[in-house]
Structure 1
Amino acid sequence: MLARRFAIVQVWRPIYADPRARLLAHPLALCDARSVAPADFIAAERRHPTRVGEIYQLAYNPAHRWTHFPAMSRDEALVFKVYDSATDGRARFTPHTAFAHPETPGDGSPGSLRESIELRCLAFFG
């Protein structure tokens, strides 16, 4: 199946028990893949007990265009492609991260502590 095009799609959302809570701490941020140059990616080893893998880190570039999703509720989710095996010019990677938001209250209230879940799915194309 890996001989054909495949993609990895991620679903991410907050998981607060209180349906009124909004994610304030460390919101997710995505970088517009069109603003990332191939040279911006830095390969990094990821070691596991039984294997060694590789991920990419992102070098700073002032051309990057980031967007973040503040105050998400547990009823909202982000769905985005993190990898595509196609090399025909479409976006192959979506750099993403979380960051310390300066407006996060430090009082331990719902939303001031990050609680989230993510799921990665493989999509195979025929």
Structure 2
Amino acid sequence: MRNPLLWVWGAVATVACGLMWLLPGSETVPYHVAWATFALCYGLEPWRPVVTATGLVLYTVVSGAILVDRVVDGTIDWQETAEIPLMSLLIALMVWHVQRRQRLLAEVTRLADRE
């Protein structure tokens, strides 16, 4: 199976969205568990940029829609929706650092092979 940790994160993100939907008022824990799982899985096994971006956009949109729905029905306050762009920014910065490390490691390997 290609990118097994991508599938792990996809499963965790799917379960997290399900729990967020089924447990009004308790969205915070599954929401953050899915983001933490992404950070762990991506840090151990970086994925192609298009795959990474697609997964991040899908999870942000679906989980964000659930949070906004909870605001609309009065379950949580609007301040909770600040998590949507803040967590996306934090994860985007982490992805940038991992990709930067991968590029630098490839360059160091290339230079070492020349010697």
TM-score (norm 2): 0.30
> As a proportion of its length, which structure holds more helix?
2
TM-score (norm 1): 0.28
1 or 2 for the larger relative contact order (CA 8 Å, sep ≥6)?
1
> As a proportion of its length, which structure holds more strand?
1
